[in-house]
Amino acid sequence: MKNKIILLTLLLFMSTCHVAAYKVSNQFLSVGKVWVWKGRALDEEVPVYYTVTGTEEIDGKSCFRVDQTSDIPELSGGSWLLCEEGGKVSVRYVDPDDNVSWLPLYDFSMTTGEEHQISIVNESGLYDPQPDNRWKVTGETNVHVSGVTRRMMSLSTTESHPKTVWVEGVGAPYLDGQLTWFWFPQPDNGIYLGGFKECIEDGEVIFSFADFGDPASVRGTGDDSSVGLNEDAIYDVMGRRVDSTVPGSVYIRGGKKFVAR
């Protein structure tokens, strides 16, 4: 009987360890935290700020309000409610018919080999999920920045944007590295949102674009702040320079949008 009790206790312990395979150690959301992204207005880079301005209770969840501001009017004025639970970060989305959904942005509790469905939203609403459109964690490592050790996750998918990295408490270097892709019309005047620049907490920069390592190995374009716009260069609507185009897709060249043929 004693041996059975010991065995049962051991099995319960192993089961608990499996469920809690990884505990997130770096909080993503906190009041006052700021993410600075790179806005583009023709050949000029202008910062776009995402600031956690406060907390709210909604839908039975404790949420954080994140406001978007910039000197570029087209890239300012946005406001979102985000929730973080057990390493899972989601955003409150209200579709054109006033239906409310909580869409995933990150799941830092994922470990190597695990997968997560990617959601897609456009001006008409939420797309039906496509089973093959998933992020898969392919590896994990640690990155040491400003005296803090953060877990970095490498992810891949079979879609046209095949790789990204996530850093706990920071996020991804580009918006399409999140679990939900927002495909909304962009201003037709050469203004668009580029990539991540830096993350600020308590008035100090805790992470910058370069701290991701070599983003060129993730996106194939490197830091777009060092790539000047010109009449010949072609960019996608996320601000990444591309070497080839896909027929029917929208791109930017010389500050103007065009549809590839």
Task: Give 10-residue mean pLDDT values along the chain (261 residues).
Answer: 42 41 85 95 88 96 97 92 97 94 97 95 86 91 94 86 89 93 77 91 94 63 37 57 70 65 71
- Residues contacting residue 97 through CB under 8 Å, at least 6 positions apart: 125
Yes or no: say if 16 and 77 are a contact pair by the CB < 8 Å rule.
no
DSSP 98: -
Position 238 scores a pLDDT of 53
Position 200 scores a pLDDT of 96
d(CA 16, CA 65): 34
Position 240 scores a pLDDT of 56
Position 48 scores a pLDDT of 95
d(CA 9, CA 1): 12
Position 249 scores a pLDDT of 72
Query: Which of 88-109 are b and which e, b meaning 16 or more Cβ less than 10 Å from the residue's Cβ?
Result: bbbbbbeeeeeeeebbbbbbbb
pTM: 0.76
Position 98 scores a pLDDT of 94
Position 247 scores a pLDDT of 72
Position 220 scores a pLDDT of 40
